[in-house]
Amino acid sequence: MNDACQRYAEDPEANAAHLNACAACRAVYGGVETKPVNVDVLPLAPWEGAAYRAWPLVIGGTLTVLAIALALCAAAGISPLSAIAFDVQANIARASLAYQKLRPFGPLVFAVPFIAVNGILVLLLRRAPRGIDA
């Protein structure tokens, strides 16, 4: 395979004349039926344009939410940080309350559902994701 053959293999459309000049390439590629593909007709792939970063939308959306949060916190008389801390503390308090109610049952009560639920979880996790192959 010389350089011309290599160029034809890399870009057959740009080097179409090579096929008439080279018997070896004609023997290899001559029987291959090619059809021009109109890329615009193909459905839009999920990755197309995905890397684009719309910074005005991101910054605008973030600043709008920040402004609303600051205004609401000022109206409620709390700081944004204490609002977030309040939510975290409320979640921890809710979880510990549920834990205090459940703890007296003992570990054996939870052992059977633990094994059953984790068995189902393992079975569900064995399925391969479909996603881009669907």
Measured from the CB of residue 37, what is the shortest distance to another protein in angstroms?
14
| CA geometry: angle 60, 45, 127, nearest 5 deg | 105
DSSP assignments along 40-70, one per residue: GGSPPPTTTTTT---HHHHHHHHHHHHHHHH
CA–CA distance, 102 with 113 (Å, rounded to integer): 14
> What is the per-residue binding string for another protein in 90-109, x denoting contact by CB under 8 A?
---------x--xx---x--
Binding site for another protein (CB under 8 A): 40, 44, 46-54, 56-58, 61-62, 65-66, 68-69, 72-73, 75-76, 78, 80, 83-84, 86-87, 99, 102-103, 107, 110-111, 113-114, 117-118, 120-122, 124-132, 134
